[in-house]
Amino acid sequence: MTTSLATEEPLDLRSMPAGERPSHVLTAFDGLAPGDALAITAGDAGGDLLRCLQEKRRGLFEWSLLRPGPPSWTIAIARRSAPPGAARGINEALSWDHDRLEALEAAAFQKRAEGDFRSASDNYAAFAAGLRRHIAFEEQVLFPSFEEMTGMPPTAGPTAVMREEHREIEALIGQIEAGIGDPGVPVDQLRRSLHDVLGEHNFKEEEILYPTTDQLLGTDRADELVKRIQRF
């Protein structure tokens, strides 16, 4: 699926009665073309919306966090190019999130190059929030499943290495996030360091960890694990 940023003004549900939110979001979602994304701002983490989409638009969407709360959360919902009910594997869903995050990071630095430091900061905050969530669901949902199936402990094997790389990634994005909105802070070297570790890290996940997990789980169980990750 082509990665698209949710660039329009978010659909604000904060003043809408809870019972009306799901149908309102379904109508907006149905108007998306495959590959397009819808941003939604809500006064909570959108659990009711996610459950509705998983039930009524099964297999048609990807779910990601743009800005965490409280007091409000901004969520992106992207439309997949897939038939209703189509199962998703770990590799497809998480590689899509890699691409989405790369697009947000690139947009942030493009805005910085244009001198729009506020937009650079906003875009990078969305990238940082998404990457931190990505790291968290890998370590708390994906890695334990992989370790259980393979018998590898969390202190050894590929997941141990990836946890170490996650700590390095988190440190770098924290430093860049603090400085990207300030024209006087030289963040380009930090960005190069992040690309070095993140590029190799994502390659290992997409070429080894994710496909292996899909193979070990099988289609139906992999799809259920993707749903758990969406609910994280």
- Same domain for 225 and 126: yes
- Same domain for 103 and 143: yes
Residue 125 located in a structural domain: yes
- Going residue by residue through the chain (232 aa), what tens digit of pLDDT does each one get? 445 555 457 899 999 998 899 999 999 999 999 999 999 999 998 899 999 999 999 989 999 999 998 999 999 999 998 888 888 899 999 999 999 999 999 999 999 999 999 999 999 999 999 999 999 999 999 999 999 999 999 998 899 999 999 999 999 999 999 999 999 999 999 999 999 999 999 999 999 999 999 999 999 999 999 999 999 9
- Same domain for 198 and 225: yes
- Same domain for 73 and 95: no
pLDDT of residue 95: 96
Q: What is the CA radius of gyration of the chain?
A: 18
Please give the helix or strand (H or E) that residue 30 lies within, else none.
helix 21-30
Closest by CA to 205, choosing from 166, 152, 174, is: 166
How deeply is 158 buried, as exposed, middle or buried, from its count of CB atoms within 10 A (0-12, 13-18, 19+)?
middle
- Same domain for 121 and 66: no
Residue 4 located in a structural domain: no
pTM score, two decimals?
0.91
Domain membership of residue 37 as a residue range: 11-79
pLDDT of residue 6: 56
Distances in whole angstroms, Cα of residue 40 to Cα of each of 4, 54, 85, 175: 15, 16, 23, 28
Strands 61-67 and 73-79: antiparallel
pLDDT of residue 5: 59
Distances in whole angstroms, Cα of residue 46 to Cα of each of 18, 135, 146, 186: 10, 20, 28, 37
Peptide bond preceding 154: is omega within 30 degrees of 0, i.e. cis?
Answer: no
- Same domain for 180 and 118: yes
Residue 219 located in a structural domain: yes
The number of folded domains in the chain is 2
Match 């141990």 to its residue by tokens: 160
Contact 110, 83 (CB under 8 A): no
- Same domain for 37 and 152: no
- Same domain for 44 and 135: no
- Same domain for 118 and 189: yes
CATH number for 70: 3.30.110.40
Q: What span, in angstroms and rounded, lies between the C-alpha atoms of 119 and 130? A: 17
- Same domain for 111 and 225: yes
Q: Which of 36, 53, 79 is the last residue of a domain?
A: 79
Q: Which of 35, 51, 79 is the last residue of a domain?
A: 79
Match 């992989």 to its residue by tokens: 146
